[in-house]
Amino acid sequence: MNVVDLRLPGEGRRKLPRGIRSGMDDKTIQALGKLSEALETTERARGHLYSFHQLTGHADLMLDEVVSLLREAGHHEHADRVQRDVLGRNVLPGKWTFEVVEQYEDTYYEVFREAERAARTDLAGGKRHEFEARMKRERQRLSAAAYADRDSRSG
C-alpha cells in the first residue's frame, strides 16, 4: 500500500496509509473518486433537465397572453395557430417535460445513484469523497510545508 507523509511542520514523523479514513488502496480510492465525479456530472445534467422543464413550462404559460394579444390585435389566424399547434404541446411524442424528468430519474438517475451508493457502501464503508479527502490532506501538507519554508527564509 502506498503511503504519504501527513505530518505538518513541527510534528513527529509518522506515515499513514493513503486511504487513511478507510484503509482502501489507491486504485479503489481512484475508482470511487471517478464514480463520484461521474455521479456529480449526472447531478448537473439533472439540474439542466429541471431547467428545461421549468423554462418550457414557463414559455407555454406565456402563450396564453400571446394568444390574447394576437386576437386583440386582430391576428386571429396566428392566434389560432399558436393555440392549436404550440400551446400545451408535447415536447416528445406523448410527453410533457415533467414526464421526461420523471422517466430520466426512474430509468437512469436513480439506478446510477444506487450503483454509486452500493459501491461506496461495500468498498468504503459508506464514506463519501475519499479521493477528495486524500487530495485535501496532501495539498494542505504541501501548503503547510511551503509556508514553513517561506517563514524560515524571511525571519
**Per residue in 115-129, is it b (16+ CB within 10 Å) or e — as a string?**
ebeeebeebbeeeee
Average pLDDT score over residue span 7-13:
44
Q: What is the pLDDT of residue 15?
A: 45
Q: What is the pLDDT of residue 106?
A: 98
Average pLDDT score over residue span 105-123:
96
Average pLDDT score over residue span 34-60:
97
Q: Each residue of 11-29: pLDDT tens digit?
A: 444 443 444 444 778 899 8
Rounded CA-CA distance 85/66 in Å is: 13
Average pLDDT score over residue span 81-86:
98
Residues 6+ apart with CB under 8 A from 102: none
Rounded CA-CA distance 24/31 in Å is: 11
**Residue 75 cell numbers, joined:** 391576428
Residue 144 has pLDDT above 90, yes or no: no
Q: Please report, as a single letter, which amino acid is at residue 152.
A: S
pTM for this model (two decimals): 0.70
Cα Rg of the chain, angstroms: 27
